[in-house]
Amino acid sequence: MSFSEVISEILKMRIRDFIESFHDLMPRHRVVKENESVRDLYKHIEEGIEFFVVLSDEGRVTGVVKALDVVYALGRKKGRAFVPFATIASSLRRVKHTIETIDSMVVRDVMNVTPPIISENETIEELVELLENEGEDYAVIVEDELKFKGLITDRTLLEAARKIMTSKKKR
């Protein structure tokens, strides 16, 4: 089976089937609440957590914080940092804050309130289209009523194709 044939097969899969088949490739994430301190995220980032999915008390997805956003915010010189400007207008804009200010912020202040979200009942092809349209490298997967199911990144899709190709070569 060629790489293009593998990709074609992956694109036809339902997202829930993809998650079941490739759960070991999913990005490391942690569920958090909007009122948790950004400072509390640091230790999880050190442990390799890539994404923080923000859930309401009812378990619905209300936002996402990428670990890289927090790292970038902490990595600025001269005590200045940038945090995503989490509005519907654009999560790509950045606002200047001191590191001390970031340490006193809560997740609600820095989360992307409009993360790409897709149902587990859709196909991987529809997920790829969503990623292209949103200009993001990840999507939040939900069950009914925005209940969190998982995360898939563009890297997850590539790793799944590699895994299939490797298993085919061993046969």
- For residue 38, pLDDT beyond 80: yes
In the structure, what pLDDT confidence band is assigned to residue 74 with cuts at 50, 70 and 90?
low
pLDDT given at position 73:
62
Which of 68-77, 104-113, 145-154 has the largest mean confidence?
145-154
- CA distances to 20, 97, 105, 112 from 80, in Å: 42, 6, 15, 21
In the chain, where the domains are located: 25-156
Which residue's entry shows tokens 């799944």? 160
Q: Who has greater pLDDT, 82 or 129?
A: 129
pLDDT given at position 86:
38
- For residue 71, pLDDT beyond 90: no
0.85 exceeded by pTM:
no
46 Cβ neighbours under 8 A, 6+ residues apart: none
pLDDT given at position 122:
97
Arithmetic mean of pLDDT, 46-66? 92
Q: Does domain 25-156 have CATH number 3.40.50.2300?
A: no
Q: pLDDT tens-digit profile of 86-137?
A: 333 333 345 555 667 667 788 888 888 899 999 999 999 999 999 999 999 9
Identify the CA nearest to 42 among candidates 64, 80, 74.
74
Q: What percent of the chain has pLDDT over 70?
A: 81
pLDDT given at position 129:
97
